[in-house]
Amino acid sequence: MSDYLYTLESHLNAAQSEALATVQTAANEAGLNLFLAGGALRDMIAGFPIRDLNFVVEGNGIALAKAIVKKTGWEMAAPDTRRNRAELLFPQNVRVEIAMAREEKYAKAGAKPTISPATIYEDLRNRDFTINAIAMSLNRASKGLLIDPNNGLGDLERRELRTVSKYTFYDDPVRILRLIRFAKRFQFTIDERTLQQYENVRDANLERKIGAEALRQELHHIAGEPTSAEIVKELDDQGLLTLFCPAMMGDKVNHAGLQKLQKARQNVALELNLPVENMGLFLTVLCEKLAPKERAGLKTACALDKPAVQAWERLDGRVKKLAVELKQPKMTKPSVLYGAAQKAQGAELVYLLYKSTDRTVQDRIKNYLQKYLPAAQEITDEEISEATGIEPGSAKFEKAKSTFIAKRLDARPKKIVEPEAVMPPAPQHPPLVSSVRR
């Protein structure tokens, strides 16, 4: 087994491994060359937790995704037919992207590219940064072989962000926002030539060519970043935040709120696989100081769709009932608290941690996230089957499972203690692109 294959296997959790095997089998059956690439590979090599699995096929990505959905019943998000790319949501919050290996040609800066099927080598040549332009073969004859035409491995080792070509930002100016985001996420430095290219793009005001759809996607990415507060601060310092919302400047930007939200989110450990709808949560806090008219400016600039707007505008109202419920005396019983919190959405729990000044509400949410939910997740179906004699897969089993979990939780010490945050606090970053321009 190649070293990289071994590293991959030891890096994935059980649910991700299952997703990997499922995609591999489907690609095999369809006779398509399959590669792991982009963020998944970068994060694996650098030793960061793998968030999404990014696959590339030399062939039809959407058709492969559809074949998997047909076989497994898993959910497919709106496919991107232009790029022949689809996202699948596997069990336990595992997100998988399957994309066609493609070449993108830009007639001018920020223009819609012409897209055509390509080999994996051509695909990697078209990517933004060298650390994102590495692929690993998952094909029988060459499984585990690393394809790294731009020496992304070297840049990962040096902890440096470097563009793949001198046209990287000109072709697709949203990549200057990605540069800032990755620099803040990984605390990587930026290669000197890349900094110069950034300067050139800013001098030519090419950031104005970033389309609403690209801004919406970038906002979505920022919302999910563990260091979103630092990213927003840098975008503000660089005069780029107004792209997302013309009124977003000066004391209208809720920097302190974003720092507080960042801290609240650290209570949701990655291993919990708890889905959190980050966009609504992030926008609620980011736009706290904006007037309704100014918020409308953000909706237009980023072409926000209705579900995103609703998630944002309804969150504050939604948590009020939950806060009252969590304060009830019966919530001292772990199983009752667990049952109530299970019904809440991840974003609601995090938002209450951000917003509520009530100590009891705070402690109960932390107890759920840090004690009861992990304890419940440790219980396996086999364990329940053995204890109850009921086989998984029926309504009867689900009922027995709830009773089993409740019993286990109530057997634990009931004393409520203020738990420590389970993840280390976000690092205080040194200025990164701040040397670029002010």
Closest approach, Cβ 101 to ligand CTP, in A, equals: 12
Closest approach, Cβ 415 to ligand CTP, in A, equals: 39
Strand partners, 86: 98
Contact flags string 135-174 toward ligand CTP, x per CB under 6 A? -------------------------------------x-x
Q: Which residue is nearest to ligand CTP (CB)?
A: 39
Provide φ and ψ at 409, rounded to 5°: -65, -40
Among 45, 56, 96, 127, binds ligand CTP (CB under 6 A): 127
What is the amino acid identity at position 63? A
Among 16, 20, 38, 344, binds ligand CTP (CB under 6 A): 38
Among 16, 54, 84, 130, binds ligand CTP (CB under 6 A): 54
Q: Find the part of the chain contacting ligand CTP (CB under 6 A) among 124-132, 287-295, 407-415, 429-437.
A: 124-132
Q: Find the part of the chain contacting ligand CTP (CB under 6 A) among 127-135, 140-148, 235-243, 398-406.
A: 127-135
Contact flags string 253-292 toward ligand CTP, x per CB under 6 A? ----------------------------------------
Neighbour tally for 389: CB within 10 Å: 8
Q: Is 227 in the site for ligand CTP (CB under 6 A)?
A: no
Among 39, 79, 211, 374, binds ligand CTP (CB under 6 A): 39
Q: Is 51 in the site for ligand CTP (CB under 6 A)?
A: yes
Structure tokens at 26: 């489907």
Among 16, 84, 130, 132, binds ligand CTP (CB under 6 A): 132
Q: How big is the site for ligand CTP, counted in residues (CB under 6 A)?
A: 13
Contact flags string 174-203 toward ligand CTP, x per CB under 6 A? xx----------------------------
52/363 with CB nearer ligand CTP: 52
Q: Find the part of the chain contacting ligand CTP (CB under 6 A) among 48-56, 140-148, 246-254, 420-428.
A: 48-56
Closest approach, Cβ 320 to ligand CTP, in A, equals: 33
210/361 with CB nearer ligand CTP: 210
160/172 with CB nearer ligand CTP: 172
Closest approach, Cβ 382 to ligand CTP, in A, equals: 34
Closest approach, Cβ 315 to ligand CTP, in A, equals: 23
Q: Is 128 in the site for ligand CTP (CB under 6 A)?
A: yes
Strand partners, 146: 136
149/374 with CB nearer ligand CTP: 149
Closest approach, Cβ 175 to ligand CTP, in A, equals: 5
Closest approach, Cβ 308 to ligand CTP, in A, equals: 17
d(CA 219, CA 221): 5
Pairing of strands 114-117, 102-105: antiparallel
Task: State the SS3 of the chain.
Answer: CCHHHHHHHHHCCHHHHHHHHHHHHHHHHHCCEEEEEHHHHHHHHHCCCCCEEEEEEECCHHHHHHHHHHHHCCEEEEEECCCCEEEEEECCCEEEEEEECEEEECCCCCCCCEEEECCHHHHHHCCCEHHHCCEEECCHHHCCCEECCCCHHHHHHHCEECECCCCHHHHCCCHHHHHHHHHHHHCCEECHHHHHHHHHHHHCCHHHHCCHHHHHHHHHHHHCCCCHHHHHHHHHHCCCHHHCCCCCCHHHCCHHHHHHHHHHHCCCCHHHCCCCCHHHHHHHHHCCCCCHHHHHHHHHHCCCCHHHHHHHHHHHHHHHHHHHHHCCHHHHCHHHHHHHHHHCCHHHHHHHHHHCCCHHHHHHHHHHHHHHHHHHHHCCHHHHHHHHCCCCCCHHHHHHHHHHHHHHHHCCCCCCCCCCCCCCCCCCCCCCCCCCCC
The residues that touch ligand CTP, with contacts defined as CB under 6 A, are 38-39, 51-52, 54, 127-128, 132-133, 172, 174-175, 221
